[in-house]
Structures are given as C-alpha cells and as structure tokens.
Amino acid sequence: MADARRIARGAIWNYSAQIATALAQLAYAAVTSRLLVPHDFGVFAAATASVALINLVSLAGLPQVVGRMTDLHADRLVGLLAYAGVIGILAAAATFVGAPLWAAIWGQPESISVLQVLALTSLITPFVALGNGLSLRLGLFKRLAGATVVANVGSMVVGTVFVFLLRDAESLAVAQVLALLGVASIMLVQLRSYFRGRFHLRMTLKDVSYSTKTLVSALLTYSASTVGKVSVSHSVGSVALGNWNRADAITTNPFYLLGAAISQAVYPEFRHDIEDRSRTRRLWSDLLGVLGWVCVPLGVLVAVLAPIAVNLLLGDGYELAAQYAPMLAIIGALQPVVFLLVSGFEALGRFRWVWSGYIISLVVNTGAAGVAIALHSVWPVFIGFLVSFAIMHPLHLALASRAQLVDLRVVLRHYLEILAFCVVGGGALWTLVNAPAVIAFSPFVFGGVLLVAIVAAALVVKNIRRFPPLVLAKRYGLLGGREVVPPVALDVEPETVQR
C-alpha cells in the first residue's frame, strides 16, 4: 500500500465532499419532508430500491477494474469507455421498460413513473463509475471532491425547486439524475486525455471477465440488502417504508458515504498486495482497527442523538423514523468495517470468499423478512442486518487469518478496545440525554454511570499516549513524524497526477 498520509488525505478529501453532500441532504430532507407526505417517500423509496439493482449492475465493476490497474494504458481505458456506454444504454432500457415489473414486485404501482425518470441514472452511472475510478486511481482526490460537491449541492437546489412546483414523488428523482450527470460530465471532461487510445476488443474482454465477477457480487449484496425492504413494503406499507427512507437519510446514509470515502481512497492501494504481501497482515489488521475507531463510536453518538435530530429536521408525521433511527445508526456504523475487508478480498480476486459472505447475508435477511411479514413489523429486518454482520464478518476474518492476510489477535484487540470505549462513552451520553427519566428511575444509577464515565475519562487522559486510536495514528505517521512501516513506492508520476 502507499503511505498512510496519502490515503488519509484522500479519505479526508473524499469524506469532506461526502459531509458537504450529507449536510445538503439534511437540508434537502428537511425541506422536502415538509412539502410531501410519507406516502410519497415510500413510493420514491420503492423506486430507488428497484433502480439500485440495475445501477449496481451498470457500475460493471469499473471503479474496481481501474483501481487494480498497475498500468493505465490508453487503449484499455478507451475500451472501458465504450463498455460503459453499452452497459448504460442496456441498463436504462431495462429500467424504463421494466418499470411496471419492478413496481409490481414492490406492490407500489405509483412508482412506475418515478422509475421511468430514474432510468436516466442507469444511463449515466457507468460513466460516473469510470470517471470516479480513474480519478481515485490517479490520486485526484481534491478534484473529485470539488466535482462531487458542486454536482450534488447544485442538483439538490434545483431538485428542491422541482419538488416545490410539482409536489409529487417523481420530482424527488430530479436531484439524483442531475447529481450523476454533473459528476460524470466534470470528471470525464477533465480526464479526456487518458482516453486517446484505440479500441481493442480482446483487451476489453479481459476486463469484462473481471466485471462479470463483480456483477455477481452486486446482485448478491443488493438482494441481501433489499429483501427486507420488499417485505416491509408489502406487509407494513408505504408509510413505514417512507419513515425508513427518512431515517436512512440521517443515519445510515452518512455512514455509507464515510465508508465509501475511505474505501475509495484505500482500494487502489490494494493493487500492491496482489503481488507482494509482505506487509498485508499488519496493515489490514490495523486498517480495520482505524476504521472501527472512526465509525463505531460515531455510530453510538448518532444512535443516541438521532431521535432528537429526526424530530427537529423532519417535523410532524415522522415519529416512526425517530424510533428506527438508533438501530439504523448502529447498522450504518458497522457497514464500512464489514465491507472494507470485502473490498480487500475483491481486489485480490478472492470472489468465493466475497460471495460466501453475501450468501450468508442473503439467507439471514430473507429469514428476517419472513418474520417481518408474519409480524407486520419492520424490526425483524433491522435485527436481521445485525445478525448477518455478526456471522459474515467473523467468517471473513477467519478466512483472512488462515490466508495470513490479517492477524486475528490484533484485530480482536482493536475490536474489544472499541467496544469498551463505546459501552462506557455511549452509556454516559445516553444517561445525560435522558437524565430526567434516569433520575426518576434511580438517582443512584444516574450517579453511578457518570462516576464510571468520569473515572474512565481520567484514565484515558492520564494514559493518553497509549490511547489506541492515537497509537495507530502515530504508527502510520498520521499525527506527524515518520511512518513506522515504510511505504511502497507509488507508480503514478507527479506530472501525471497534475494533468
């Protein structure tokens, strides 16, 4: 892998763009939630979940293909550009023509017109994937971040106008279409010099072979993540689905963006581990620890505060969203850690390991969906997500440990330290937020929790140099100084990055 500072800078730029987008989304959600009713968001959620499958397919593994390249050959890139065009046209046709079928699957006939508008996203998605993948491979994090912010914020401003004027579920699709169109246009125009090659079918077919394997992964992960929403749509109704959609916007989505930002910065560096694994075991173990320290405590913080945020941002009619938010925050916080290891397997071509985890997730979530239908409740679906993580991730850790990709003892130590911190810190925060109720229940419990938190905080301050996240940050030079583990030399020329 490249040096940790470069990866960290990339992740910071990526997530800065994602934070700006997430803040804009919060404002967008706050405004549109007051212009439309939960039923409209339920219809929109059904449509976006349907088109998500096609858009996953239309990604065609393009970011991964480019990210794994050790040599950015122009002929190979122009072949991928042609492949993106073919995939985009086919995906858009499948979305538009198949809209009635997708609506029937969800039991939401009103989503047909929304799907037909979202067909434009299926056309554009492959070009976004190629442009973003090439930008990340070149290390153009700042440039991509700027394009992402401009495109997303601008699209939400225009989208809000459409929602205000039209007041229907179809108007919610406008922002998504414009955001993708903006990012694709900006990045591909800036990187056009890399596509000045000649198309070679044989060369392109080799990349298509890898793309096909990522397609299997996309289908499995979509099925595992969507089967629960389908059950909720049929058994509980569009109002519950709409509340889930709104709670996602405040809880799960920001963590998805965080995970994507870090994964995008790290993924191109996995190409160094394909041939040389001398440092893989140590780095992957610590990488999981760093990501855990970033995501999980933040997830606990969001879980405690999200119900308050939902009530403030969304207004009346979204009481269910406030109830769903804490569980969704925990699910969202665990996702980046679970799927970073999956990304590493994918980069190394260990698709059987990837697929085994997704199949487990699909089986568990399908069972949870059946329970949700029987009970007419959304909660079994949420529990299913957590159970699937609890089975999938240990399996992947065991496989990685057996292949000498991670040090299982190091990973478990990281995870136990994170768990202890979250139990103490999260418990104290929850107690303070709910102080009147806790004091009414038992003043001794209130005092005891605060005392434990104060003692724990004092111990951390006293031993701050040994505080695990700071130790990890110093080890890889993230707080200044030199990286303990020497980096692998980059194969991207400085002048190339500056193009």
Q: What is the pLDDT of residue 187?
A: 86
Tokens 């985890």 found at: 357
Digit-coded pLDDT (tens) for 274-295: 666 667 788 888 889 988 998 9
Distance CA 11, CA 315 (A): 33
- 89: pLDDT strictly greater than 90: yes
Percent of the chain exceeding pLDDT 90 equals: 17
- 32: pLDDT strictly greater than 70: yes
Tokens of 80: 């991928």
Q: What is the pLDDT of residue 3?
A: 54
Digit-coded pLDDT (tens) for 187-233: 888 888 888 877 777 777 777 777 777 778 878 887 888 888 888 87
In 315-434, which residue ranges form alpha helices assigned H by DSSP? 319-347, 351-375, 379-402, 408-433
- 464: pLDDT strictly greater than 80: yes
Q: What is the pLDDT of residue 488?
A: 37
- Window from 73-77, 174-178, 258-262, 268-272 with minimum mean pLDDT: 268-272
Predicted confidence band of residue 9 (pLDDT cuts 50, 70, 90): low
Distance CA 226, CA 55 (A): 14
Determine the 3-state secondary structure of 480 from DSSP.
Answer: strand
- 498: pLDDT strictly greater than 50: no
- 23: pLDDT strictly greater than 80: no
Residues 6 or more apart whose CB falls under 8 angstroms from that of 53 comprise 219, 222, 226
Q: What is the pLDDT of residue 478?
A: 59
- 335: pLDDT strictly greater than 50: yes
Contact at 8 Å (CB) between 203 and 75?
A: yes
The pTM (predicted TM-score) of the whole model is 0.70
Find the mean pLDDT for residues 44-54: 81
Q: What is the pLDDT of residue 490?
A: 32
- 457: pLDDT strictly greater than 80: yes
**How high is the mean pLDDT of the chain?**
81
- 492: pLDDT strictly greater than 70: no
Predicted confidence band of residue 272 (pLDDT cuts 50, 70, 90): low
- 174: pLDDT strictly greater than 80: yes
Residues 6 or more apart whose CB falls under 8 angstroms from that of 215 comprise 57, 60, 61
- 75: pLDDT strictly greater than 90: no
Top mean-pLDDT range of 6-20, 68-82, 184-198: 184-198
> Which H, E and C letters describe 73-137, residue by residue?
CHHHHHHHHHHHHHHHHHHHHHHHHCHHHHHHHHCCHHHHHHHHHHHHHHHHHHHHHHHHHHHHH
Name which residue leads in pLDDT, 239 or 298: 298
Q: What is the pLDDT of residue 397?
A: 95
* Cross-strand pairs, 289: none
Find the mean pLDDT for residues 70-92: 86
Q: What is the pLDDT of residue 40?
A: 78
